[in-house]
Structure 1
Amino acid sequence: MREFFAAWLSTLRSPLLPLLRRALSSSSSSSSGGWDDPLSSAAAAVEAHFQAHWSALDAAARQDPAQAVSAGDWRSPLELPFLWVGDLHPSLVTSLLRSLSPSPRLLAATDRVDRRIRAAVPSISDRLRRVQEAFISAEVSGAADVEAFLEELKDVALDANRLRRGVLSELVAAAGGYQAALFLEALSRFVLSMHDPEVLRRFDQCRASPGC
C-alpha cells in the first residue's frame, strides 16, 4: 500500500491537479459543467482518482484487515489526527466544502450529507468497538476466533470506505460544474498539503517546541 499511495499522491500532484487548475482558470463560475467540456473532464478525473484510492483501501482490507482499520505506515504524521478507520474522516470533506462559501442550495445538500455522516459514523465506530470487545472477552476465555475477528474488521473497513465514496459522490453531484471543480481542487490541495515537505517541517518544529 505504501508504494500505491506514493504513486497515487504523485499522480494527484501532477498531472491531475494542474490540469484541473488550468481548466478552472479558463472557465467561468457560470460554467454549466457538461461532462464533455475540459473542466468537467478534469474534475471527473480527480474524483475518479479519489475513488480509486478507496478501492485500493478496500483491496488492502481484504488482504490485511488489521492494518486497514489503523493508520498505515504510509501516512504522514500530520495526517494522523484526521484519520478515522484507516483514512480521512468523512466529515472533513463536508467541512472543506462549507469553507468555500457554497450557495444556499449546495449548503442544504451538504447538510443532508452531514446528517448521513452523523448517523453512519457512530454506527461504524460502535461496530468496531463491539468487535474488539468480543475478541478480548473470547481471548480471556481461550476461545478467540482470529479468523472471525479479521472478517469483522474487514467488513468495518469496507463500510467506512463505502461511506467515504458516497459522501464524495453526493457532494460532487450536488455541486456540479464549476463549484464541483473548485471543491475537488480544494480537497486535492488539502490532501497534498499533509505530505508537503515544508508543511511537515513546520509541523515537526512545532511538535518539538510546543507553543511555537
Structure 2
Amino acid sequence: MSRKPKIALVIGSTRDTRFAEKPAQWMLEQAQARTDMDVELVDLKDFDLPLFNEAASNMWMPSSDPKAVAWQEKMDEFDGYIFTVAEYNHSITGALKNALDQAYTQWVRKPMTAIAYGGTGGARALEHLRGIAVELQMVPIRHAVHIGGGDFMAVHPMGKNGPISDIEAHIAPSAKTALDDLVWWANATMTARDADQAKAA
C-alpha cells in the first residue's frame, strides 16, 4: 500500500450562526500542513440531509433517499474522519447525529478524531460521539482537540471573538498528537481493509 490516507474534516453543525467553521478552518490548516495525509473539508450544510426515514440502515438494505445516498458516496471516499463537535446540552448536534445515522457501511473500520468545543471543551459531547462511533464500527482514537473555558471565550463571538491563533499555543500540541494517531490508525486500517478485499477477490 503506497497511497496516503484521505481524511474528511466534517463540519458537524448546520446552524446559520454556527461557530464550527472557525475551528474547522484552523484544524484544516493543521492537517494540510502535513505530508502524510490528504484532507478535505466536508460541510453538512452542502448535503441538506433529511431526518433519517429509511426502513433500515444501509448495513441491511440500500437507502432510498438520493440525498442520503449522495452522503454515503461522499463518506465512502475517505479513510478516516475528523469531526467538529459542538456541545449541545451535553451531546453532539442533531445534524451530526442524523448524518452518522444516514450511513453505516462507510464508517466501518475507519478511525475518527475531533476538534470539540464548549464550556468544558466539548468533552461530554465527544464522549457521546465516541460511543456512537463504536456502534458504527469506527475506530475512535484517544487524542482530540478541546477548546474550552477561557480559550473558548477568547475566540467565540459571544466572548472576545479573537482568531484561533490567539489560543494556538494551547491547542496545537493536541492537534499534532491527534493527527499523528489518526494517520497511524488510518494506515493500519487501510492495510487491513485492503487485505480483506484481496482475500474476497
TM normalised by structure 1 equals 0.29
| Length-normalised TM-score, structure 2 | 0.30
Larger Rg: 1
Which is bigger in relative contact order (C-alpha 8 A, separation at least 6)?
1
Structure in which a larger fraction of residues adopt strand? 2
Name whichever structure is richer in helix by fraction.
1
